[in-house]
């Protein structure tokens, strides 16, 4: 069963859903999480207190709106556009990520989130 989460950055809130993978379950167990987000092109990432191995279906090329866990940096990633590693119109992570969920609804405001912003991830409704 998917888990609904809320991602808050300053005065902006984004709804998302985590999938039923073991990596997503480890993230849910660590919630709430507060961290300083970093920008890498049109990706926001931040370290989280979760350690998980690369999943068999981990991949570098992702879709806009996907949420990933980056095993190489124990980081939660929000993908919403090209990164410095992208080729053409693709969205490419620095190295393979475990896909752990998706942003829901309109997330265009992520483009306005500055580097270093405080981010909170929590279960929706909590």
Per the structure, the count of domains in the chain is 1
The beta strands (E) that lie in 1-126 are given as 3-9, 12-18, 33-36, 38-39, 43-47, 59-62, 66-70, 75-79, 91-104, 118-123
- The distance between the two most distant Cα atoms of the chain, rounded to a whole number of Å, is 40
The one-digit pLDDT tens for each residue of the chain (126 residues) are 689 999 999 889 999 999 999 999 999 999 999 999 999 999 999 999 999 999 999 999 999 999 999 999 999 999 999 999 999 999 999 999 999 999 999 999 999 999 999 999 999 987
Structural domain of 85: 3-123
């Amino acid at each position: 069963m998917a888990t609904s989460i809320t991602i808050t950055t300053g005065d902006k809130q984004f709804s998302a859903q985590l999938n039923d993978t073991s990596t997503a379950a480890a993230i849910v167990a660590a919630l709430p999480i507060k961290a300083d987000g970093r920008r890498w092109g049109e990706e926001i990432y931040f370290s989280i207190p979760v350690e998980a191995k690369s999943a068999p279906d981990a991949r570098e090329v992702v879709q806009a709106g996907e949420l990933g866990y980056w095993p190489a940096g124990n980081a939660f990633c929000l993908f919403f556009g090209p990164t410095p590693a992208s080729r053409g119109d693709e969205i490419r992570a620095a190295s393979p990520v475990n896909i752990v969920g998706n942003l829901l609804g309109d997330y265009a405001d992520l483009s306005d989130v500055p580097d270093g912003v405080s981010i909170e991830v929590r279960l929706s409704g909590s």
